[in-house]
Amino acid sequence: MSQDPTAQYAAIDFTPLLQFSDDEVVTHSLVKDVKLPSGKTLALITLDNGRDHTRPSTLGPATLIELSGVLDGLTARAAAGEIAAVGITGKQFILAAGADLSKVGEIPSKDAAKMLAQLGHSTLGKLGALGVPSFAFVNGLALGGGVEIGLNSTYRTIDTSAAALALPEVFLGIIPGWGGATLLPNLIGIENALKVVVENPLKMNRMLGAHEAYELGIFDVEFDHVNFLEESLKWADGVLAGSIKVERKNAPGRIERTVKWPVALKIARDTIESRLGTVPKSPYAALDLLNKAKDGDIAAGFAREDEVLADLISGDQFAASIYAFNLVQGRAKKPVGAPDKSLAKKVTKVGVIGAGLMASQFALLFLRRLEVPVVITDLDQARVDKGLAYIHDELQKLADRGRLSRDQHNKLKALITGTTDRSQYADCDWVIEAVFEELSVKQDVFADFEKIVSPEAVFATNTSSLSVAQIGAKLEHPERLIGFHFFNPVAVMPLIEVVNAPATNETTLATAMLVAKNLKKNAIITTDSTGFVVNRVLAKVLGEAMRAVDDGTSFATVDEALAPLGLPMPPSELLDLVGLKVGAHVLDTHHAAWPERFYRSDNLHRVAELGALLEKDGKGKAKGVSRDAERLVKANLNPGGKPHTREQVLQAVQDGFADEVHRMLEEGVVAAPEDIDLALILGAGYPFQMGGLTPYLDRVGASERVFGGTFHSPKIVGAASREAAAAAV
Amino acid sequence: MTSEVYFVDGTRTPFGRAGEKGMYWGTRADDLVVKATVGLLERNPQLPKDAVDDVAIAATTQTGDQGLTLGRTAAILAGLPTSVPGFAIDRMCAGGMTSVTTMASAIAFGAYDVALAGGVEHMGRHPMGLDADPNPRFLTEKIVAEDALFMGNTAERLHDRFPELTKERADFYGMRSQQKVEAAYQAGRIQPDLVPVAISSAEGWGLATEDEGRRPGTTMEGLATLKTPFRPHGRVTAGNSSPLTDGATMSLLASGESVEKYGLTPKMRLVNFAFAGVEPEVMGLGPVPSTEKALRKAGLKIEDIGLFELNEAFSVQVLSFLDHFGIDDDDPRVNLWGGAIALGHPLAASGPRLMMQLARQFAEHPEVRYGLTAMCVGLGQGGSVIWENPNWNGR
């Protein structure tokens, strides 16, 4: 380290930041002197916000300013020879959960955003400039700034029971900017740092376990919880005495910096581009910082982080990301419109109608999550046996991977049965169908089973395109029927659309919401309206894409036109993923419901008949639209159609989205735009940087163009946009 | 079938003042046991953890964080394999001592090879007698005097019974305990068996490394001014009594064969032990009959005992023992490094504390062959354990 990286902040007055933190839950920096076995004194800082572990300590401006003052005091004590070291740890189970995100959204300007970045650097950086060594004793959860407390310290120990460690910033649209992007690669090497800073956040915010973090080299030593602090203090004493030598085997050497560094970054950049496109800013900002960190100049790295963080914090993507994060963390867990859960019926036995792949996946999920008897059935024993074999096979795989203990495995095997004897459904409280997607089939199946089950048993249908009310038309008790729409793959996708049909009663709805929760899924409640939420939005984007294609626009142009949205995949790949027949059917269904707004495409049916839209390489990766498909479409263009420009395609989709979402809200399909965003994030993987959908539609002006308003007031945009808007007035 | 029984090692937490201002107010009782256990196992790494045959933990008030079959819960929480069983013991103040004698008995019988025996009392969280519901017959049938249920009153009763045991003698004994503990601390004799404990409080994390209740500056003048809370114009004060204390102790016992097998270095050999009863209202006298009984069983006389570790529940109660056996109040063989008046008396944890202190004195005194650990027990009991010094040089 060439110079004290905090020197550049010495003259800054940070008190203006206190203006927007008057209701901050301040994490206090409590100090106690600890006598080490050698007799030396270590000043131990405990970060504690005075709340229990359900409200993790966070690092807001007031917290940082207090910590900064405490560290100044300890620097003076170190200079006076009163203390030999400084330790920093957290309250029970928690070190710190990083910046207080509820406050970051209120940052008024880009200047303030930069000041916040600088305050973090100035404060945490002092841990590396005390005049005596500092030790971070990471006793529990450490996220973002919590991890950076450790990185700025001279040494680090970790409690093996720590719940999670992560630098989740990139997931939220920013970068680890209190030293993380600079210090981490210089501590654990570029490949490990890429994993922690970029790869994990982009894998649905994957976090590190304590041991994993130790193995990566983030920590110098790990100790069990039982005497974590005692051992950490003893270890610190050994380090101070020189009897313990700290080796950092993953710290980068000269060859890594010159050779490995650029290669690793190139690979990472290519991977992210192919997965996410180039719309989200934070991953690329992080890559850039990690790249530059190879110079090992910490002070310069801190200054770079300040600039980038100021940009991102004041930008629209971060505002949308925080909005999305809060939806996923909050609204998803307390669904709007759910009746009191005391109304829910207890589900003690589940019946699945069908034994095909979908039915078997349902059975497996209910079995694993509810741990109640589950019975499957089909037309003949051979199909039932096939379904059972699939389920047993999947359970065996889980057991082989250590995910199920022997007892648990035996328990689940004993709970799953298959039968052609429908009388075994008599005591099921919950019956879900996974039969052919045809109205009369579903109607008859439920009518038949109604004769067997109790009058109170709940019926759930997984229909994606039929009317739940019509499915229940032949039921004596249609109030027991509810739509329960999963997304593929059932085990992975977190969303269930719970369709509250006109006849559905509160008990049924409450039961469905509780079942969804117990399945560890997030449910949103929709009305019984075509496509519910997710398919209606997908039908819009696919319909507009096919309209352009049928008018003579190439698939490639359509895909490129929609790239600025930053959706998980272009329309051609989405069609390939959902299946061409399914895609064509979804368009037909929506067109039938609203012919003036939803486009249907005969060409899509033709390509479906042909078999494939995309050409793929040996690994199954799409190389582009197949010549045959292009030719087939070209031969059947809309009469009088003209190719659309990219701008036209993009605006048609944006405006179509705004119109359809606006209509859904007018119709009351869901309670609020938040529910639509949540559904799209959880059910279709719509990105945080769009805030799902509606913050994006507001910020690009589509809402204004289509209905002369916005979904959110004020718009969910960053401080920079707010400042620009104010300047324009 | 019989086997020799050795006290191999013992560790304890520093003892804390009970109550909200005490250092362990924010620390669970079971965690104190676990810390002592982990500390003991860590410094005896040659012992395989699965070799432990049983874990006995005593506590007087077995409820809440000091309940749930402490020996078993502590074994699990301390990281012993699930194959190691455990149980809980109660004989009030002699609980830990009874853990030792019970485990020792099993080893002597040949059922066990290695055992852990300890005790805990978090008197801040679990004041003595809290939630107790003494049978009314005790009083209605005058089975015991009312004084019997309040330890301070039993100490006043001893003063009544033995008028020669004056308040001045009691105060002097208390002052000497403080002075001897301070001297032992200065010489670093107490600290080696202490396991540091991380302690949380509203002021943040800290580390307990020393016994908290010591008052090295105690003077006779100061003691004379203290109140007598158990009786107006009485004799028993905070200065000549053990304070309310939080703490845990743990000891490792092994058979002669196991000592060889695992290469352990025993600190004491168990000679014999006894428990005995007295009238509950003079419970402090209990160690007299229990010691006579233990000596008789061992075939020894009081003159054979070269070092005494007597629990100082109250000065008067120790003095009654010394008077009975004709030992001087300030005899250098008795509580060489002070006792519970200065260190504290976390009821069921104290027995093993006496033993680990005697064990260290044995190492310094190879001229001594036999030592005694003894203590009084609520409801009129005494417990005495006689130990032999493996370092005895035969002179």
At residue B81, the pLDDT reads 98
Q: How many beta carbons lie within 10 A of that of residue A596, not counting itself?
A: 5
- Cβ–Cβ gap B35/A227 under 8 Å: yes
User: Do β-strands B204-208 and B245-255 pair in parallel, antiparallel, or remain unpaired?
Assistant: unpaired
Residue B321: exposure state from Cβ atoms within 10 A (0-12, 13-18, ≥19) = buried
Question: Is CATH 1.10.1040.50 the classification given to domain A534-726?
Answer: yes
Write out chain A residues lying below 8 Å of B38, CB-based.
226-227
Segment 307-366 of chain A within 8 Å of chain B by CB: none
Mean pLDDT of A15-23: 85
Per-residue confidence band for A623, with pLDDT thresholds at 50, 70 and 90: confident
Give the residue with greater pLDDT, A24 vs B337: B337
pLDDT computed for residue A621 by the predictor: 82
The answer to whether residue B233 neighbours chain A at the CB level (below 8 Å) is: no
User: What φ, ψ does residue B65 adopt, rounded to 5°?
Assistant: -75, 0
* Rounded distance between C-alpha atoms, residue B349 and residue B122, angstroms: 9
Q: B238 at the A interface (CB within 8 A)?
A: no
Asked whether B52 and B114 are in contact (CB, 8 A), the reply is yes
Looking at domain A341-527, its CATH class is: alpha beta
The mean pLDDT value for A150-160 works out to: 98
Summarised one tens digit per residue, pLDDT across range B266-281 is: 999 999 999 999 999 9
- Chain-chain contact of B203 with A227 (C-beta, under 8 angstroms): no
Q: Rounded to whole angstroms, how far apart are CA atoms B284 and B274?
A: 16
Contact assessment for residue B119 and residue B249, using Cβ atoms and an 8 Å cutoff: yes
Alpha-carbon distance A6 to A123, whole Å?
Answer: 8
Contact across the interface for A233 and B207, Cβ inside 8 Å: yes
Helix/strand/coil percent split, chain A, to 5? 55, 15, 35
d(CA A456, CA A570): 45
| Domain ranges (residues) in chain B | 5-126+243-387
Contacts of B206 in chain A (CB under 8 A): 32, 34, 44
Any A CB within 8 A of B35 CB: yes
Q: Is B200 on the interface with A (CB under 8 A)?
A: yes
Picking from A70, A91, A229, A232 by the largest number of B CB atoms within 10 A of its own CB, the best residue to mutate is A229
Q: How far is B68 from chain A (nearest CA, A)?
A: 19
DSSP reduced 3-state for A500: strand
User: Number of residue pairs across A and B with CB atoms under 8 Å?
Assistant: 50
Closest CA to A131 of A81, A95, A172: A81
Residue B34 touches partner A, C-beta closer than 8 Å:
yes
Task: Return the closest-CA partner of residue B287 out of B358, B353, B384.
Answer: B384
| Rounded-to-integer distance, Cα B84 and Cα B260, Å | 21
**Nearest chain A alpha carbon to B201:** A91
* Average pLDDT, rounded, for chain A: 95
DSSP calls for B112-166: -SEEEEEEEEETTTS-TTTT----THHHHTTSS-GGGG-HHHHHHHHHHH-TTS-
B188 C-beta neighbours (distance < 10 Å), count: 8
CB interface of A with B, residues 547-606, below 8 Å: none
| A226 with B196: Cβ contact below 8 A | no
Q: Inter-chain contact A230–B197, Cβ cutoff 8 Å?
A: yes
Interface residue B208 vs chain A (CB under 8 A): no
Task: Yes or no: say if A204 and A166 are a contact pair by the CB < 8 Å rule.
Answer: no
Least Cα separation, residue A226 to chain B (angstroms): 7
Distance (Å, whole) CA B25 – CA B193: 22
Residue partners of A373: CB distance under 8 A and separation at least 6? A348, A349, A350, A415, A416, A417
| Residue A2 pLDDT class (50, 70, 90 cuts) | very low
Cβ-nearest to B209 among A35, A89, A224? A35
Secondary structure (3-state) at B52: coil
Residue A274 or residue B376, greater confidence = B376
How many beta carbons lie within 10 A of that of residue A423, not counting itself?
8
Task: Give me the residue spans of the domains in chain A.
Answer: 7-314, 341-527, 534-726
* pLDDT tier, A274 (very low <50, low <70, confident <90, very high otherwise): confident
Per-residue pLDDT at A1 exceeds 80 = no
* pLDDT value of position B1: 58
Question: Which CATH code, of 3.30.70.2740, 3.90.226.10, 1.10.357.10, 3.40.50.720, is assigned to A7-314?
Answer: 3.90.226.10
C-alpha span between B181 and B193 (Å, rounded): 14
- Tokens (6 digits) for A103: 């406050």
Per residue in A283-312, pLDDT (tens digit) is 999 999 999 999 999 999 999 999 999 999
Top CATH class of B5-126+243-387 equals alpha beta
B192 touches chain A (CB under 8 A): no
Q: Are the beta carbons of A44 and B79 separated by less than 8 Å?
A: no
The partner residue sitting opposite A229, judged by closest CB among B77, B205, B209, is: B205
CB contacts of A140 in chain B (<8 Å) are none
Nearest CA in chain B to A232: B198
Task: Look at phi and psi of residue A565 and say left if phi exceeds 0, alpha if psi is from -120 to 50, else beta.
Answer: alpha
**pLDDT tens profile A489-504:** 899 999 999 999 999 9
A70: which chain B residues are within 8 Å (Cβ-Cβ)?
none
Classified as helix, coil or strand, B198 is: strand
Least confident residue range of A52-56, A233-237, A534-538, A711-715? A52-56
B33, closest residue in chain A (CA to CA): A226
Q: Which residues of chain B have pLDDT under 50?
A: none
Mutation test of the interface with chain A: which of B35, B207, B212, choosing the one with the most A Cβ atoms within 10 A?
B207
Instruction: Report the residue of A86, A230, A234 to disrupt the B interface, i.e. the one with the largest count of B CBs within 10 Å.
Output: A230
Q: Which residue from B minimizes the CA distance to A46?
A: B204
**CA nearest to B202 within chain A:** A50
Q: What is the DSSP string of A86-98?
A: EEEEESTTEEE--
Give ipTM to 2 decimals: 0.92
List active site positions of B: 93, 345, 376
pLDDT at A354: 94
Does residue B198 sit at the A interface (CB-CB below 8 Å)? yes
Helix and strand totals (H; E) in chain A: 31, 19
Contact present, A696 and A567 (Cβ < 8 Å): no
Q: Is A248 helix (H, G, I), strand (E, B) or coil?
A: coil
Sign of CA dihedral A116, A297, A156, A87: negative
A35, A37, A92 ranked by CB distance to B200: nearest? A92
B204/A227 touch (CB, cutoff 8 Å), yes or no = no
Q: Give pLDDT tens digits for A397-410.
A: 999 999 999 999 99
Q: Decide if A382 touches B, using CB distance below 8 A.
A: no
- CA A187 distance to own-chain centroid: 27
CB contact under 8 A, B79 and A224: yes
Q: Is A224 on the interface with B (CB under 8 A)?
A: yes
Q: Which residues contact A417 (CB under 8 A, 6 or more apart)?
A: A373, A374, A375, A376, A388, A424
B204 → closest Cβ in A30, A35, A226: A30
Q: What is the pLDDT of residues B96-116, one digit of tens each?
A: 999 999 999 999 999 999 999
Report DSSP state, residue B285.
G
